[in-house]
Amino acid sequence: MNLKRLFKHAVIASSILATSAAFAADMRIGLVVKAQGIGFFEAAYEGAQQAAKELSDDVEIIYTGPVTPTAEGQIEIVNSLISQRVDAIAISSNDTDALVPILKRAQQRGIKVVSFDSGVAEPGRAVHLNPSSNPLIGQVNVELAAEAVQATGSEKGDIAILSASPTATNQNIWIDEMKKVLPQYPQLNLVATVYGDDLADKSYRETMGLIKTYPNLKAIVAPTSVGIVAAAQAVTDAGKTGEIYVTGLGLPSELAGHVDSGAVKSFAIWNPIDLGYAATIIAHELVKGDATEKEVSMGRLGVAELDAEGNAAMAPPFKYDSSNVKKFAKIF
């Protein structure tokens, strides 16, 4: 290639870079989820995009997550976001402690870090946004289990919990809160807690194992959007509809059919669209320096009040059943 052609290519490359810079976002926020292909997080991404459009700054959302829900996969992603020099990271963690070192490094580089849904230990983030208060989530899950057992026509019965992974911060906290509430419900006998690792096939197999092991099982509580769908399908396939009810936390769009089939009587969830929206607004406020030690804006959702460790709660969970699930299934 001669010098004239080299000069021409250099001018073109320079022009492309200048154009890219001209259209670069004012702020880039990495939205890191537990794993790809989970409806709950896809809805959260929709909320993040809503927040980006609403904000006066030009905000770009980089939606990303590992193929499987592991801390190692998220660590690689966060390292990549650091290299990209994003302004903020909002993350739902697969491990409360394992992500702290890489997120501390991000903060040392000036990147603001917010955890949402499933938290990161305090040194790894500035704010953690719980979708609701943990005690209330525990209370609601036990209430749902009691309603499920009653729906079988039994005055009392065995229940089991199908969780995500043993290291999922939010799942473990909610299970602990459930156990605090259970003594108030003597008709419920918790026989087992199993883990599906937020994988549909493993959650299905774990549910089948519960059905075979506990003949008096009346309800399965799955506080995970992946697990509750898999468990409902397993109950249906096992021919136990009406004998065992599945409940917990899930998306209306994924559970409407199971409510119709009778595998699910009722369930609860907050709005994941609002959760992604709120996490993005909080990340933006931190970057702009507009948050205080006690509160931070969540945009249309109001103000998040922070405790001494930077924890906040968005809203109480909402119950869904045959009376309203189809309406909300059209939304998320």
Query: Which domains, ranges and CATH numbers included, belong to the chain?
Result: 3-131+272-315 (3.40.50.2300), 134-269 (3.40.50.2300)
Q: Which residues touch 301 (CB under 8 Å, ≥6 apart)?
A: 274, 277, 278, 281, 314, 315
Please state, in angstroms and rounded to a whole number, the distance separating the CA atoms of residues 177 and 134: 7
Q: Check the CA dihedral 53-56-62-65 and report its sign.
A: negative
Contact 227, 164 (CB under 8 A): yes
Q: Check the CA dihedral 227-232-234-235 and report its sign.
A: positive
Q: How confident is the model at residue 24 (pLDDT cuts 50, 70, 90)?
A: low
- How does strand 157-163 pair with strand 217-222? parallel
Q: How confident is the model at residue 2 (pLDDT cuts 50, 70, 90)?
A: very low
* Angle at the Cα of 252 from the Cα atoms of 249 and 254, rounded to 5 degrees: 90
Q: Check the CA dihedral 192-73-112-54 and report its sign.
A: negative
Please state, in angstroms and rounded to a whole number, the distance separating the CA atoms of residues 304 and 313: 7
- The whole-model pTM stands at 0.83
Three-state SS at 285: helix
Query: Which residue bears the tokens 């924890």?
Result: 311
Amino acid identity for residue 295 in this structure: E
Structure token digits, residue 315: 């809203």
pLDDT of residue 5: 43
Helix (H) or strand (E) holding 245: strand 245-248
Q: How confident is the model at residue 167 (pLDDT cuts 50, 70, 90)?
A: very high
Please state, in angstroms and rounded to a whole number, the distance separating the CA atoms of residues 55 and 52: 5
Please state, in angstroms and rounded to a whole number, the distance separating the CA atoms of residues 100 and 96: 7
Q: Which residues touch 208 (CB under 8 Å, ≥6 apart)?
A: 234, 238
171-210 pLDDT, tens digit per residue, is: 999 999 999 999 999 999 999 999 999 999 999 999 999 9
Backbone angles phi, psi at 131, to 5 degrees: -65, -25
pLDDT of residue 3: 40
Contact 164, 195 (CB under 8 A): yes
Q: Which of 238, 235, 266, 237 is nearest to 252 (CA)?
A: 266
Q: Is 309 exposed, middle or buried (0-12, 13-18, 19+ CB in 10 A)?
A: exposed
- How does strand 303-305 pair with strand 295-297? antiparallel
212-257 pLDDT, tens digit per residue, is: 999 999 999 999 999 999 999 999 999 999 999 999 999 999 999 9
Contact 274, 314 (CB under 8 A): yes
Task: Compute CA distances 63 → 91, 128, 151, 254, 276, whole Å.
Answer: 10, 18, 40, 21, 11
Q: Which residues touch 174 (CB under 8 Å, ≥6 apart)?
A: 134, 137, 138, 141, 223
